[in-house]
Amino acid sequence: MGNVHGNPPAHSRPFIFISAVLLVLACDSSHQAITPTSPEEDPVTEEASVPDTVGLGAASVLHDSVSFRLFVAAIDTLASFGDRRGSSTSYEAAEAWVIARLESYGYAVGLHEYTWGTRSRVNLYATKIGSAFPDEMLIISAHLDGRGGGGAVDDDASGVALVLEAARLLAPANVVTERSVRFILWNNEEDGLVGSSAYVRDRAALQGTETPPGSGLYPEPNWIGILQHDMILFDHGVPAGPSQSDDADIQVTYQAASTQADASLDLALSFFDFNMTAGGEYPVVVEAGMRSTDSWPFKDHTAALSLQENSASAISALGANPHWHQSSDVMETYEEADFRLGLHTAKLTLRAVVEIAGVRVLGG
């Protein structure tokens, strides 16, 4: 999460359902059919028959296949590179590792190039093409860069690990999405949302353009929403206590002062229902002050949300996370419960993807 200012207002409204480690992970990354397993197992290591199913059925399969081990291992690996400022050797090493992971799942990794200062930079992305509506796209994102002198574990290796886990689970050929899903890892978030702002500037006008005409290919499908993940591990109360708060929750934030505020609020409110079908291990809180994260540049273009551990103002001004941008943002700082909060956020996001993108899991 980048630098923040101000104290955004909280939003409360009755429920409405809107349908809409190691440098190399010790796992089998083969591109096999996905089947339900326990969260401690790698779900790509076994195959079994899975009924053709939609909606809650697909959500259950993906929910049961989220791997706690892989999620934590990815965070550990990213942290092992150290701080990941946008032009550093540590960033480049992390970038190469992420590209290798995505390619191992079968994705072709795209590079959105932009210039910041005098240097060329890139955002990374991989896309699951929609089977019915390839010209419509949900974005799942986090920022790869980090700062503070530690390992940038929570900010934002945690979000990157979530994106990688979602990408892994949607990669197999028997997991079909009606709409396209793009996984984006932003650069230069810590420098003022530079990478995400460049993406919106360069690609907003390209939405829905079939290239070449008649090909059925859409390099930039129409955006139907963005779910950003920025700091998802640490909710120890305000101000922070030594252990996870009994009231720990997942903040789903949108920006009320935007042209897409109604669409963003509708999507945010649907997370109450998503959370129930994702197990509801932690409650969801909807908050109206989304800022200082990479969904911000999208706020006037599509429904834009950020999933995070606390509001931006609580983190920056109220002491909710004393490890933000500090050398203490390392693996040893966090308890198992903290990683479990992040894991539940991953399950919640996957539940949202099932509903928004229209996911089916076919028999293996």
Give residue-wise pLDDT tens across range 137-147.
999 999 999 99
To the question of pTM greater than 0.85 for the whole model, the response is yes
CA distances from 12 to 7, 9, 253 (A): 16, 10, 11
Give residue-wise pLDDT tens across range 61-107.
888 899 999 999 999 999 999 989 877 999 999 999 999 999 999 99
**Would you give the DSSP letter of residue 130?**
-
Say if CB 253 and CB 261 are below 8 A apart.
no
> Given a cut of 50, is residue 46 above it in pLDDT?
no
Q: Name the residue ranges covered by the structural domains of the chain.
A: 53-355
* Cα first-last separation, the chain: 39
Give residue-wise pLDDT tens across range 104-160.
999 999 999 999 988 999 999 999 999 999 999 999 999 999 999 999 999 999 999
Fold of the domain spanning 53-355: Aminopeptidase (3.40.630)
Other Cβ atoms less than 10 A from the Cβ of 249: the count is: 15
- Spell out the residues 6+ positions from residue 69 whose beta carbon is closer than 8 angstroms to its own: 27, 40, 41, 42
